[in-house]
């Protein structure tokens, strides 16, 4: 969406230059300027393209190539007999529970992040006043500490003899410690905690950018607060909600650290299976295939969801 202006603009200038006809120097100048612009554009985009090529495209291609390979008797990757056998292996039905866990955790995390993040973003935008920036900094404050350390902090809070159980026992709500850690609960809690800021920021941008006069107009026309929210605010901030959902769901489905540290024997995700294949299984081709497949499924699912959403909500 951001890309079209440059070529279109350049074409427009070219067009006018052509129409200017035979007066030569301006014509030459008119042509020369976009050329320089184009050059400048290329120079500007070059670092980004190089970066993506080196650190996104290249690893992706490596994974793809490795996933088509096999291992020789000594365990070394070889491309002697390339094929899709790893992909066939990767679709083992035995992995479905782990895949279902990944989907479930990512889905619930996304919904919770939006449900919790939306009111926060709304409040900061509408009532933050001069403190808006400060409040946004507070939202991002957790990033100043390593995610790993914050996850360990959750372990200390949620352990059987941890902070939460101590409080519950002191208050008399429970005698025996409740098992919080290494459960679905702790995984979803940890992931929602971790991804919440990624939901709040795009939500804030879309809410803050919305013209609030439209809500006032709706109220003037006798819309209830609820109706105004449902028919004005919500549709107008839908792009923010979609952005928040994507920014939460996509990293959440591949999240390895949180389920591994806060999860337990019953919370295995597909990312853990990939890790096992790479490390103790020493089967990089197989692990690559499963990882690549996961990425393709995520991408396809995301595009499909986006399309449906756009058709239904933004049309």
Whole-number Å distance between alpha carbons of 216 and 232? 10
Binding piece for other proteins, criterion CB under 8 A, among 127-135, 236-244, 250-258, 271-279:
271-279
Site membership for other proteins, residue 264 (CB under 8 A): yes
Binding piece for other proteins, criterion CB under 8 A, among 56-64, 111-119, 194-202, 296-304:
56-64
User: How many residues sit in the footprint of other proteins (CB under 8 A)?
Assistant: 59
CA 63 → CA 14, 133, 169, 294, distances in Å?
Answer: 43, 41, 50, 12
Instruction: Please state the closest distance from residue 88 (CB atom) to other proteins, in A.
Output: 13
Site membership for other proteins, residue 77 (CB under 8 A): yes
CA 212 → CA 43, 132, 159, 176, 232, distances in Å?
Answer: 40, 16, 45, 51, 9
By CB under 8 A, name the one of 75, 81, 175, 222 that touches other proteins. Answer: 75
Give which of 87, 96, 3 is closest to 45, Cα–Cα. 3
Site membership for other proteins, residue 12 (CB under 8 A): no
By CB under 8 A, name the one of 117, 190, 202, 263 that touches other proteins. Answer: 263
Instruction: Please state the closest distance from residue 58 (CB atom) to other proteins, in A.
Output: 4
Indicate if the alpha-carbon torsion angle 291, 294, 299, 300 is positive or negative: positive
First to last CA, the chain: 17
Residue nearer to other proteins on the CB measure, 44 or 73: 73
Q: What is the 3-state secondary structure (H, E, C) of 145-159?
A: CCHHHHHHHHHHHHC
By CB under 8 A, name the one of 86, 135, 159, 252 that touches other proteins. Answer: 159
Whole-number Å distance between alpha carbons of 72 and 78? 6
Which residues contact other proteins by CB under 8 A?
14, 22, 24-25, 27-28, 31-32, 34-35, 38, 49, 53, 57-59, 61-62, 65-66, 69, 71-79, 92, 94-99, 159-161, 177, 179, 181-182, 263-266, 268, 270, 272-273, 276-277, 279-283
């Amino acid at each position: 969406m951001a890309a079209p202006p440059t070529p279109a603009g350049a074409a427009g200038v070219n067009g006018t230059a052509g129409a200017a006809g035979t007066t030569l120097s301006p014509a030459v100048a008119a042509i020369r300027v976009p050329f320089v612009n184009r050059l400048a554009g290329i120079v500007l985009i070059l670092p980004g393209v190089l970066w993506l090529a080196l650190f996104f495209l290249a690893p992706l291609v490596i994974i793809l190539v490795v996933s088509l390979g096999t291992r020789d008797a000594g365990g070394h990757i070889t491309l002697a007999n390339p094929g899709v056998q790893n992909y066939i292996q990767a679709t083992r039905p035995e992995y479905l529970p782990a895949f279902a866990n990944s989907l479930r955790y990512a889905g619930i995390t996304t919904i919770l992040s939006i449900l919790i993040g939306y009111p926060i973003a709304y409040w900061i935008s509408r009532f933050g006043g001069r403190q808006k920036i400060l409040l946004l900094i507070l939202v991002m404050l957790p990033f100043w500490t390593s995610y790993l350390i914050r996850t360990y902090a959750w372990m200390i809070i949620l352990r059987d003899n941890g902070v939460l159980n101590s409080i519950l026992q002191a208050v008399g709500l429970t005698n025996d410690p409740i098992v919080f850690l290494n459960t679905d609960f702790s995984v979803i809690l940890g992931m929602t905690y971790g991804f919440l800021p990624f939901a709040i920021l795009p939500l804030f941008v879309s809410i803050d950018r919305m013209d609030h006069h439209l809500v006032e107009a709706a109220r003037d026309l006798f819309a209830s607060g609820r109706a105004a929210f449902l028919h004005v605010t919500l549709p107008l901030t839908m792009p923010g909600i979609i952005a928040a959902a994507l920014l939460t769901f996509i990293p959440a489905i591949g999240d390895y650290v949180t389920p591994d540290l806060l999860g337990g024997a019953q919370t295995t995700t597909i990312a853990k299976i990939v890790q096992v294949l790479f490390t103790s299984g020493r089967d990089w081709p197989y692990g690559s295939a499963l990882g690549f497949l996961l990425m393709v499924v995520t991408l396809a699912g995301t595009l499909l969801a986006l399309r449906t959403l756009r058709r239904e909500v933004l049309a």
